[in-house]
Amino acid sequence: MKRAIFHIGAPKTGTTSLQNVMSWRHKDLARFGIVYPQPELTPLNPQFYRSPLTLDKNGTEVKFDRNIAGHGTLFLPYCDPSSYPPKHDRAEAKNVWDQILTDFRTSDMRAIVISAETPFFENHSMDLAAIAGLFSGLDLTLTVGLRHPIDLLQGLFATDVANIVRASCLARDYPVIQSYRNSGYAEQISRIAQGLGITDVRPFYAEDLLWKGPRSMLGGFLEHVGLDVDIEQDFHSRPTPPPEEVLFLRDLNSHDIEHEAFGEISKAIANNPTKRTYGKTGSKPCFFPKPMQALLDQRYRIDMDEIAQNWGLAPQNIPPFEPRRAVLNISDETRQTIAARLMPNLSDRTSNALHTALKSISAN
């Protein structure tokens, strides 16, 4: 029987990177009988944007020649419109899915991979029964990337700071924190699996499988879902900046700095990664207070036990919880140090804007 594999990830578990590489290598996947639909070719995903620059194993920049290709947009019409107002109605979405799946059912391909995250993980009113109906007659597998919530939220906060200008990133991320504390991974996986009628559920720890495993991200993922083929990749996403540099961007975010200047500064941090540490050393830094860290860690350990019982994934080997050093603010001295590191990579106009913003921050 033909297979449909739902990869729904969780935020910051390599979902976008996997979508990038599966889109980029979709013709190679097809040679092994695997379909990865290209949603940028559909009317439901008109917003094309290039994937971030990445680095190969030698540190050389690589830029994808295709657009980011997740399938979340195609599921938005099945969500509660008050949470995710769709740009197209469900009839349009169904027509697109019917075409994609008819082509797959009538082809000699053996599996189709569908990848999305936000609609599934952040919308509890999603019409999962209607989605299941689209894939009737196919052998369904659900695979979910997992990550320790403290690390997940660290990455989410850093990404939001770098990409959302003049937004309260903590306010935006707070619902994600609350959702996890209230339900955790296990409850959400159960809800999605039951709603889609899937019994073959294959969760995985993103860090162990995608980043530390013996194979590349793509190779490890395909092996995990039972599509073990000889396709690898030799690139990876840029590392998350040091927390002090993320807070540096957050401080600029909250002051009157031009949009273009902020973008150039953010790009300078991303394109010139550093392992430098600022200020105190020792325990890992964290953007969240220690009591919140403890609650998230406790919830995660309960989650791992439930996931092990329900789906056979062995609990992750993580050390006993030790509170991380909460880094909620940085000093003027640290801001000046970061600015000095970035200045050689900035235009004169952006350098002047940065100087002005730092004076404003210091005065307040």
Q: Give 329-363 as a DSSP string.
A: ---HHHHHHHHHHHGGGS-HHHHHHHHHHHHHHHH
Is residue 236 classed as helix, strand or coil in its secondary structure?
Answer: strand
Instruction: Name the domain count of the chain.
Output: 2
Residue where a domain stops, chosen among 204, 236, 268 = 236
Q: Which residues of 190-224 are buried (b: 16+ CB within 10 A; e: fewer)?
A: bebbebbebeebbbbbbbebbbebebbbbbbbbeb
Task: Looking at the structure, tell me whether residues 247 and 147 fall in a common domain.
Answer: no
- Angle (CA) 343 347 350, round 5°: 80
Computed on alpha carbons and rounded to an integer, the radius of gyration of the chain in Å comes to: 21
- Indicate whether 81 belongs to any domain: yes
The rounded distance, in Å, linking the Cα atoms of 237 and 17 is 7
Q: How far is CA 275 from CA 18, 240, 345, in A?
A: 25, 10, 17
| pLDDT the model gives residue 76 | 82
In a domain, 317, yes or no: no
**Residue 336, in any domain of the structure:** yes
In the chain, count of helices (H) and strands (E)? Answer: 15, 10
Same domain, 152 and 121: yes
* Residue 303 belongs to a domain: no
The answer to whether residues 189 and 174 belong to one domain is: yes
Task: Select, from the ranges 126-130, 150-154, 226-230, the one with the highest average predicted confidence (pLDDT).
Answer: 126-130
Whether 217 and 250 share a structural domain: no
Percent of the chain past pLDDT 90, that is, above it, reads 27
Q: Domain check: are 227 and 260 in the same one?
A: no
Structural domain contains residue 302:
no
Strands 325-326 and 285-286: parallel
- 296-313 mean pLDDT: 90
Return the number of other C-beta atoms located less than 10 Å from residue 260's C-beta.
12
Tokens at 249, concatenated: 């961007």
177 and 267 together in one domain = no
- Tell which residue, 129, 137, 120, has the closest CA to residue 74: 120
Whole-angstrom Cα distance, residue 171 to residue 134?
36
User: Lowest-pLDDT range, 124-128, 192-196, 209-213, 351-355?
Assistant: 209-213
* The pLDDT of residue 330 is above 90: no
Average pLDDT, the chain: 80
pLDDT of 4 reads 97
The DSSP-derived string for 300-337 is HHHHHHHHHHHH-PPPP--PPP-PPEE-----HHHHHH
The confidence score (pLDDT) of residue 236 equals 57
Note whether residue 68 is domain-resident. Answer: yes
3-state secondary structure of 58: coil
Does residue 165 lie within any of the structural domains?
no
Establish if 294 belongs to a structural domain.
no
Is 153 in the same domain as 77? yes
Q: What is the CATH number of the domain that holds 85?
A: 3.40.50
Task: Report how far apart the first and last C-alpha atoms of the chain are (Å, whole number).
Answer: 65
Looking at residue 68, its pLDDT comes to: 52
pLDDT higher than 50, residue 43: no
Among candidate residues 205, 236, 267, the one where a domain is terminated: 236
Whether 136 and 247 share a structural domain: no
pLDDT of residue 102: 95
Assign 3 to helix, strand or coil: strand
Domain limit, last residue, from 187, 207, 236: 236
C-beta separation of 172 from 250 below 8 A: no
65 and 141 in a common domain: yes
* Residue 223, domain extent: 3-160+170-236
- pLDDT at position 106 is 96
- In whole angstroms, give the CA distance from residue 29 to residue 248: 41
268 and 177 co-located in one domain:
no
Question: Is residue 207 located within the same domain as residue 346?
Answer: no
Checking if the pLDDT of 46 tops 70, the result is no
Enumerate long-range contacts of 356-360, CB under 8 Å, 24 or more apart: 356/257, 357/252, 357/255, 357/256, 357/257, 358/332, 360/255, 360/256
12: burial class by Cβ within 10 Å (0-12, 13-18, 19+)?
buried
One domain, residues 200 and 248? no
